[in-house]
Homo-oligomer: A and B are copies of this chain.
Amino acid sequence: MNLPIGELSRLTGVKVPTIRFYEQIGLIDQPPRTEGNQRRYGTDEVRRLNFIRHARELGFEVDDIRELLDMSGKPQASCHQADSIARNHLAEIDRRIASLTVLRGELSRMVDECHHGRICDCRIIEVLADHSQCVADHVH
């Protein structure tokens, strides 16, 4: 216990400036300070910060994490809301994967059709300059 910020950082894998940032936006509480004004943390903060890191790694936004943290502090409440946050996030990830996959298709077609000649014959530049052409080709 009584960890300085660097130690907390090492234990949780969250960078020192990021911890201070999380404090600033109210994601973690202001910890007690030494007489010389340095932050000192306990094991609660380690848990909380780990929770935050896991959630960030799973792509949750800070506002979602705020709610999830609130919930984790009310063990008797229904987990309906947590479920709904997670499901929405999952749907969002699905949307992103879908749109990146469409993108990937177009890009890869573009790259495949480039015959490494001059700019004036280059499909990459051509497609960018006239996207409708590209779409038309594709439909055909």
Contact = CB atoms under 8 A, between A and B. Distances in A.
B83 A116 contact: yes
Interface residues of A, number: 52
Interface string A26-66: 00000000000000000000010011001101110000000
Interface of A: 47, 50-51, 54-55, 57-59, 68, 71-72, 74-80, 82-83, 86-87, 89-90, 93-94, 96-97, 100-101, 103-104, 106-108, 110-111, 114, 116-122, 124-125, 127-131
19 contacts: A47-B129, A50-B130, A51-B128, A57-B131, A58-B106, A58-B128, A59-B100, A59-B103, A71-B125, A72-B125, A72-B129, A74-B119, A75-B118, A76-B120, A79-B118, A82-B119, A82-B122, A83-B116, A97-B97
B79 A128 contact: no
